[in-house]
Amino acid sequence: MSAPNPSEPTSEAPAPKRGANAYGFFACVAAMIAAAALTVVAFLVLTPDGNDYALASNLKHEALSAHDQKIVLVGGSNLAYGIDSAIIERTTHCPVVNMGMNGFLGIRFMLEEVKPYLHRGDVVVIAFEHETYARPVDGSSTDLLMVTKANPATLRALTPQQLLRVASRYPYVAHQRILRLLGDQARTIGHVLGLAKLENLDEIAAWDMRRIERLSGFNANGDLTSHLGVTIPDHTLTEEDDLPPFVLAPGALSLLENFAAEMSARGVRVVMSYSPAERSFYEAHQAAIDGWDAIFRANPAFAAPSPPSQYVFDASMHFDTVYHLNEQGRAIRSQMLANDINGVFEGAPPCSAAAPAQERISQ
């Protein structure tokens, strides 16, 4: 038995508070999980994406900031593929910013994203893919994550609930990143060792949409141009596999109405336009699409110059999907939209003059 240490208290030490040890332990667990989460985020930020498509969001925001009076096109990939801003600029004399991107970002984000940049005299043209009205207004958290990661300024367009959902997608995206990196390495190693041919990689490379959907595919207005003059061999037009029932999604109409009211108060004109649609697709969903058009027309906050049926195109004018136009369709649709905008302003161009976009941005 050892002698008592005089430095130690002679009386019994007070019992630890109930659960104190446990809470210390749980605090360590929380810290460990937080460190792991930060590691995953760091991994995601520090390793490059498989393509740089989402970075185009920065380009579009740069264009939004560059003009005092402008036409802003709000929508998805139908705008990216199907708009030649130069045509609209020539007709309207207004600089055009095309916000269209591929991905399911949701009505809320697409409207909130542009709000801070809109001022008196601006024109907003809304042209969502038809099914966007039927899908959840909060969009895909995964796609939102990719955009907000590439352009953190867009985080302010998200609600707290959306932010939480986006944060929850980090594991999935990090996991997909790992799979891509490992897959590339495995194929390369297999090829070097002669164990496997790069047949899958070659096959993908033959028609990988990464050729089209990348940052360098966009011009300064935000139009995608990399698909122009390109034909996908043996390709038939696609539509989404799991189209929702074409019923207006909860909250969609109120979001649009509130947006229109707010813009009206600011002196911004809101024009409702429509995505181009391949003829058979439109006919399959005509009742719902025309019904939505009727709702917009009944609301004076919206100017809806042409019905959706005006934006129906033959399959020969499409690129890869029922919404994506090729070069020929794009030119026709752009001119139609330009005329529609002028029509809203009773035939007069909404702006007095417009300099070419590239010049304006470089200023």
Partner 1 sequence: MGFTTANFAWFFAAVALVHFALPQRVRWMWLLAASLFFYGFSEPFFLVQILAATGLSFWFAQKIEAAPDKAAKQKLLWPAIFLLVGNLVLFKYTPFFNETLRSIFNLAHAEYPFPELNWILPIGISFYTFQLISYLVDVFRGLKAERQLGVFALYVTFFPKLIAGPIERAKNLLPQIHAKPGFDYAVALQAMQLIIWGVIQKAVIADRIAPFVNAVYDNVEAANGVQIAFATFLYAFQIYADFAGYTNMALGTALLFGYKLMHNFNRPYFAVSIQDFWKRWHISLTSWLTDYIFTPLTRQKTFKIKFYTLMLWSMLITFVVSGFWHGAAWTFIAWGALHGLYIVISLLLQKRWNTFARASKLIDHPKFYQALKIGVTFFLVCIAYILFRANTMEDAITMFSLLGTGWDALVSNVKIVVGGDIAQFGLAMLGIIVLMGADLLHGRVNLDGAFAKRPAIGWAACYAAVVAIVLFGAFYDEQQQFIYFRF
Chain residues in the site for partner 1 (CB under 8 A):
18-19, 21-26, 28-29, 32-33, 35-37, 39-40, 43, 49-51, 53-54, 77, 102-104, 140-143, 146-147, 168-180, 182-183, 186-187, 190, 196, 200, 209-210, 213, 240-242
Is the CB of 240 or the CB of 290 nearer to partner 1?
A: 240
CB of 31 to partner 1, least distance (A): 9
Q: Which residues are within 8 A (CB) of 16 and not within 5 positions of it... i.e. 6 or more apart?
A: none
Is the CB of 61 or the CB of 149 nearer to partner 1?
A: 149
Measured distance CA(115)–CA(109) in Å, rounded: 10
Is the CB of 33 or the CB of 261 nearer to partner 1?
A: 33
CB of 30 to partner 1, least distance (A): 9
Identify the three-state secondary structure at position 272: strand
Is the CB of 12 or the CB of 346 nearer to partner 1?
A: 12
CB of 37 to partner 1, least distance (A): 8
Is the CB of 95 or the CB of 139 nearer to partner 1?
A: 139
Q: How does DSSP assign 75-116, residue by residue?
A: ESHHHHHH--HHHHHHHH-S-EEE---SS---HHHHHHHHGG
Burial status of residue 201 (CB atoms within 10 A of its CB: 0-12, 13-18, 19 or more) = middle
CB of 146 to partner 1, least distance (A): 4
Q: Which residues are within 8 A (CB) of 20 and not within 5 positions of it... i.e. 6 or more apart?
A: none
**N-terminal to C-terminal alpha carbon distance within the chain:** 86
176-200 burial: b if 16+ Cβ within 10 Å, else e: ebeeeeeeeeebeeeeeeeeeeeee
Is the CB of 37 or the CB of 315 nearer to partner 1?
A: 37
- Cα angle, residue 247 at apex, residues 245 and 249 outer, rounded to 5°: 110
103-112 burial: b if 16+ Cβ within 10 Å, else e: bbbbbbbbbb
Is the CB of 147 or the CB of 337 nearer to partner 1?
A: 147
Is the CB of 183 or the CB of 267 nearer to partner 1?
A: 183
CB of 328 to partner 1, least distance (A): 23
Looking only at Cα atoms, what is the longest distance across the chain? Answer: 103
Measured distance CA(37)–CA(25) in Å, rounded: 18
Centre a 10 Å sphere on the Cβ of residue 52 and count the other Cβ atoms it contains: 15
Measured distance CA(282)–CA(199) in Å, rounded: 38
Using the structure block, give the residue that is written with the tokens 């994506």: 324
CB of 275 to partner 1, least distance (A): 14
Residues 129 and 275: beta-carbon distance below 8 Å: yes
CB of 351 to partner 1, least distance (A): 33
CB of 289 to partner 1, least distance (A): 19
CB of 205 to partner 1, least distance (A): 13
Is the CB of 50 or the CB of 267 nearer to partner 1?
A: 50
